């Protein structure tokens, strides 16, 4: 049982990291996007509050452009952690979605703390209520994040599933895979919570992580409930980046490369060859204002053509 459980865990971790890496590489190497340049742009710093930009300065092209990453973080973190946009636009959905997402975040912290505690134990340090300050902190934080994350995950998954099944406005946007995702992840949360109740300090989970890190394939949890929870959780970790739930990878590109990207196309910049590549793509649109004659054209030809004359000729 121990060997099989280790194989499942190692395989699922490999799938997770490979899938996330492939997605990141895919988005990173995609053709140049169509930038929104929606102001206010957060990285403008003190100009952001009134929608200003470095373009408003005289001879901006002769000045060094600065990007305020702290200001970016101030705008991104409330959305990433608290789903602030959803709160403002759809509070009914927020009360279901936020517990699910925040439960996920706590589970990430739970996994990190399990690994920290495991490394400490491998190094000969104690982790527990009666250990030193660091060992006790890891012990209690593991318990807090574990139960908090699992409980919120169950509540969020059930709430989102109920909303998907009963809200007519979401009917056209709900596929069988969406329902499966919520049932699958909700089931993983329920199983983890049940295993946590029987092992409230999560010490057996930490021992499992120790065995994974030290390649101790003979170790297996004593109870089947914990083993089942570990197996299902490992499968969930591998499954998430294979679905649209891996939008955590996309958010970085959405904010930095689409929503806020206002970097100028200066002579000799990295943009020049990329723009040249995109301009040579064929246009397949047939609308009169784009391609009145319906002939094969590139975007460069569309951008430089006299559309009025073409319409008269047509």
Task: Quickly tell me which residue has 């997605």 as its tokens.
Answer: 23
Asked if residues 209 and 114 have their Cβ atoms less than 8 Å apart, the reply is: yes
Cα gap 47→66, rounded to integer Å: 12
The SS3 of residue 210 is helix
Q: Any long-range contacts for 212-216 (C-beta under 8 Å, 24+ apart)?
A: 212/6, 212/9, 212/10, 213/115, 213/118, 213/119, 213/122, 214/122
Cα gap 21→132, rounded to integer Å: 38
Cα gap 93→156, rounded to integer Å: 10
Q: What percent of the chain has pLDDT over 70?
A: 93
Cα gap 154→246, rounded to integer Å: 19
Q: Which fold has domain 2-259?
A: Fumarate Reductase Cytochrome B subunit (1.20.950)
With a CB cutoff of 8 Å and minimum separation 6, the contacts of 76 are 42, 255
Q: What percent of the chain has pLDDT over 90?
A: 51
DSSP 3-state helix, strand, coil percentages of the chain (rounded to 5)? 70, 0, 25
Q: How does residue 293 score in pLDDT terms, banded at 50, 70 and 90?
A: low
Q: How does residue 312 score in pLDDT terms, banded at 50, 70 and 90?
A: low
**Nearest Cα to Cα of residue 142 among 120, 121, 115, 103:** 115
Cα gap 26→8, rounded to integer Å: 27
pLDDT per position as a tens digit, 140-153: 999 999 999 999 99
Q: Where are the domains of the chain?
A: 2-259, 280-313
Task: Count CB-CB contacts under 10 A for residue 133.
Answer: 7
pLDDT per position as a tens digit, 186-242: 999 999 999 999 999 999 999 999 999 999 999 999 899 999 999 999 999 999 999
- Residue count of the chain, please give it: 314
């Amino acid at each position: 049982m121990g060997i099989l459980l280790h194989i499942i865990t190692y395989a699922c971790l490999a799938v997770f990291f490979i899938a996330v890496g492939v997605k990141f590489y895919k988005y990173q190497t995609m053709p140049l996007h169509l930038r929104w340049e929606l102001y206010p742009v957060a990285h403008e710093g003190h100009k952001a509050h009134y929608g200003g930009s470095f373009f408003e300065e005289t001879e901006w092209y002769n000045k060094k452009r600065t990007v305020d990453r702290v200001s970016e973080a101030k705008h991104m973190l409330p959305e990433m952690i608290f789903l602030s946009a959803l709160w403002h636009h759809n509070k009914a959905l927020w009360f279901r979605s936020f517990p699910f997402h925040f439960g996920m975040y706590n589970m990430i912290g739970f996994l990190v703390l399990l690994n920290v505690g495991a490394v400490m134990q491998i190094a000969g340090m104690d982790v527990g209520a009666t250990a030193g300050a660091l060992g006790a902190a890891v012990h209690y934080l593991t318990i807090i994040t574990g139960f908090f994350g699992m409980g919120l995950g169950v509540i969020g998954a059930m709430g989102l599933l109920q909303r998907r099944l009963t809200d007519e406005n979401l009917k056209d946007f709900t596929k069988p895979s969406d329902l499966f995702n919520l049932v699958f992840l909700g089931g993983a949360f329920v199983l983890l919570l049940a295993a946590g109740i029987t092992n409230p300090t999560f010490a057996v989970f930490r021992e499992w992580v120790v065995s994974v890190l030290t390649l101790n394939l003979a170790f297996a949890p004593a109870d089947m409930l914990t083993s089942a929870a570990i197996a299902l959780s490992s499968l969930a970790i591998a499954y998430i980046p294979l679905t649209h739930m891996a939008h955590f990878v996309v958010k970085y590109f959405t904010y930095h490369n689409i929503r806020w990207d206002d970097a100028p196309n200066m002579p000799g910049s990295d943009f020049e060859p990329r723009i040249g590549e995109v301009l040579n793509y064929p246009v397949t649109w047939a609308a009169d204002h784009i391609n009145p004659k319906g002939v094969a054209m590139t975007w460069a030809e569309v951008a430089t053509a006299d559309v009025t004359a073409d319409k008269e000729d047509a």
